[in-house]
Amino acid sequence: MRTGVYVCHCGTNIAGTIDVHALIGYAGSLPGVALAREYKYMCSDPGQELIRQDICDYKLDRVVVAACSPHLHEKTFRQAVEQAGLNPFYCHMVNLREHDSWVHADKPAATEKAMDLVRAAVRRVKWHVPLERRQVPVHAEVLVVGGGIAGIDAALTLANAGKHVYLVEREPTIGGHMAQFDKTFPTLDCAACILTPKMTAVKAHRNITLWTYSEVRQVEGYVGNYSVTVRRKPRYVIEKLCVGCLECIQACVYKQAKVPDPFNLGLSKRKPVYIPFPQAVPQVVAIDPETCIEFKSGKCKKTCVEVCAERNAIDFKQQAEIQTIQVGAIILATGFDVFDGARIPYYGYGLYPNVYTALEIERLVNASGPTGGEVVLRDGRKPASVGIVHCVGSRDLHTNRYCSRVCCMYSLKLAHLIKEKTGADVYNFYIDIRAPGKAFEEFYNRVAEEGVVFVRGKAADVYPAGNGDGRLIVQAEDTLLGMIRKIPVDMVVLATGLEPRADANDVRRLFNIGCSGDGFFLERHPKLAPVNTFADGIFLAGCCQGPKDIPDTVAQSGAAAAQALALIDAGVVELEPNTAHVLEDACSGCKTCLPLCPYSAISFVEEKKARINEVLCKGCGTCVAACPSGSIRQNLFEDEEIFEEIDGLLASAAVGGGPVRIQGDL
């Protein structure tokens, strides 16, 4: 055995804590090690070249690279080894950085641990056997989940590249939150004017299959070959037959709209047969079975059916439809939920009628909103003073620790719009104004110039003035003045933050991806793989990954589309060979492994043996550990490899005769 050991300094990331010279001196003395070297950045081109040259010059047959996490550079080093003519799986990495130098402060102890880790790797790698990667073809279609601006943009980009896209949206229309906004900061262009052309483009695109009022129920398969089950909920209207004339809404036996309209956040009413908003896509009505008389009593006159006449689009018997599609890649663009203002009791949302959320104000200022664009209180009066409370449900460990990123800017925008429409005095109660985008600071300046007042202090309390004038007091410390201010206002606007969707956890499990501590979906790498997930072939776009504004969302959806395109355009995908396989002669057919496999990769075959589909297997090792007869083995995790690694790790403890010392994760 001729093993080469390569220790990376990673600048001072590793070398600042671990005595690298001592480490290579030690590594060089281990049995089977032909040479040990150090280098400042092993992953650099000269670093890789060093390995390649050594393999040729010194006839190395195994390589151990002690550097960072295999997540980052296993590919790099395997490739370097392969280029020098060795099987790439003869290379093994030791994670000195994350498992040692970054988590320890005691330098001698960290160096000792590094020696243990390197010794373990040197002993393990000699058992490695050559492995081959498999190639499988990929489906050229892409699934986009969520029809807000992120999903719309990703779908259009892929469709324009000639790829077929399934766009699945839970609501009866696409458009998402952006469709509810009035103007967009900082340019004040109308959200609908820039969004609706994209919505109609989706509907018209021959490469896009648009399924609204539909939800993904099941996801199976693997990168390049996902099989997805979608449930199309009954809208009780046959989409193909409805022409969007809206005559049924007019004809409904409900003369007055009675049901709170979710699109307007309950600020207006709708009928049981409805279209979410005038520019909805598709222009197809839906019937709400919870409120429709026909569903409740079966005795409605069905004036809607009468007026629909020969078009015959209404179908009270419509059932949910299950569709299964095959796609190569999936883009998740499931968006966000608005923080529920009632969770902070001292702001009085839900208690005092004139406390609103920012999204409600978006609807009020919107010309197609419940008041036709008039900013008025619930009793119809125009407010003479308005307080905007920032950071509601953001930057607070009682709710969400993170900054929601968009609230400062939309608060400035709403301040401008409210002032423009009502001439009211507008007070912003803020902690910090965060205006870091293009033309944001300039917009802040403009709004300040317009006379919007800024009180630097987190609003501490909102309560009725108590003198019968119906006003509310916003109480805060003006931290710049060093005094407590109690400002009477007619209207309070809560700048509510952005949260993960209430069912984000279910969606996460459905697609087998992770989430970060705040509950948003986790990207593969915060800087270098911001739209990838740890599930190959599943990408993220928009606010499901974290709060962001429209420009950032669109940039991200473009990136997600490009990643999906790169995957499906290659035509094939390479699968890692670290999969499990059954030694069929030894298998007793006990079926223990079958229900344990999270990927349904194990089947039971005629000859009464378990068989693992290597394409479905992700190499998690559950079946390997569970098999009572020890007849399931796993590439790169063979028993000899693991035991030798453990023995190597604990060898120093055995020699010294002292207590076994285990530091960090093995």
Q: Considering beta carbons, is residue 254 or 402 the nearer one to other proteins?
A: 402
What is the phi/psi pair of residue 503, to 5°? Answer: -105, 20
Question: Which residue in the set 85, 436, 468, 482 belongs to the binding site for other proteins (CB under 8 A)?
Answer: 482
Cβ–Cβ contacts within 10 Å for residue 187, how many? 12
**Per-residue b/e over 142-178, b at no fewer than 16 CB within 10 Å?**
bbbbbbbbbbbbbbbbbbebebbbbbbbbbbbbbbbb
Q: Within a 10 A sphere around the Cβ of 61, how many other Cβ atoms? A: 18
- Closer to other proteins by Cβ: residue 19 or 478: 478
Closest approach of Cβ 479 to other proteins, in Å? 4
Q: Which of 321, 326, 346, 509 lies at the binding interface for other proteins (CB under 8 A)?
A: 346
Closest CB to other proteins among residues 292, 391: 391
* Contacts with 377 (C-beta within 8 Å, 6 or more apart), sequence order: 353, 354, 383, 490, 491
| Number of residues in contact with other proteins under rule CB under 8 A | 26
Using CB under 8 A, which of 9, 363, 395, 405 touches other proteins? 395
Q: What's the min distance (Å) between Cβ of 328 and other proteins?
A: 44
Report the residue number, 348 or 537, with the smaller CB distance to other proteins.
Answer: 348
Helices 107-125 & 639-656 angle (0-180, nearest 10):
140
The number of residues making up the chain comes to: 666
Distance CA 4, CA 370 (A): 72
Q: Which residues contact 614 (CB under 8 A, 6 or more apart)?
A: 134, 575, 579, 581, 601
- Torsion, CA 124, CA 125, CA 128, CA 134, rounded to 10: 120
Q: Is the peptide bond before 186 cis (omega within 30 degrees of 0)?
A: yes
User: Quick one: which of 464, 519, 577, 621 contacts other proteins (CB under 8 A)?
Assistant: 464
| Binding-site string for other proteins from residue 355 to residue 394, where x marks contact by CB under 8 A and - marks none | ------------------------------------x---
Q: Report if residue 463 touches other proteins, rule: CB under 8 A.
A: yes
Please say which residue, 346 or 643, places its beta carbon nearer to other proteins: 346
Residues 408-437 that bind other proteins (CB under 8 A): 431-432
Q: Which of 397, 449, 467, 658 binds other proteins (CB under 8 A)?
A: 397
**DSSP for 20-59?**
HHHHHHHHHTSTTEEEEEEES-TTSHHHHHHHHHHHHHHT
Q: Does 517 bind other proteins (CB under 8 A)?
A: no
Considering only the C-alpha atoms of the chain, give the largest distance between any 2 of them, rounded to a whole number of Å.
92
- State in angstroms the smallest separation of the CB of 468 from other proteins: 11
Does the protein bind other proteins through residue 309 (CB under 8 A)? no
**295 CB-near residues (< 8 Å, 6+ apart):** 287, 289, 316
Beta bridge partners of 270: 259
Which C-beta is closer to other proteins: that of 429 or that of 599? 429
Q: Residue 343, interface with other proteins (CB under 8 A)?
A: no
- Give the range of 15-23, 299-307, 315-323, 481-489 binding other proteins by CB under 8 A: 481-489
Q: Does 255 bind other proteins (CB under 8 A)?
A: no
Please, which residue, 40 or 458, has the CB nearer to other proteins?
Answer: 458
Q: Which stretch binds other proteins (CB under 8 A): 37-45, 145-153, 451-459, 609-617?
A: 451-459
Strands 425-430 and 273-274: unpaired
Residues within the interface to other proteins (CB under 8 A): 345-346, 391, 395-398, 431-432, 456-461, 463-464, 466, 475-479, 482-484
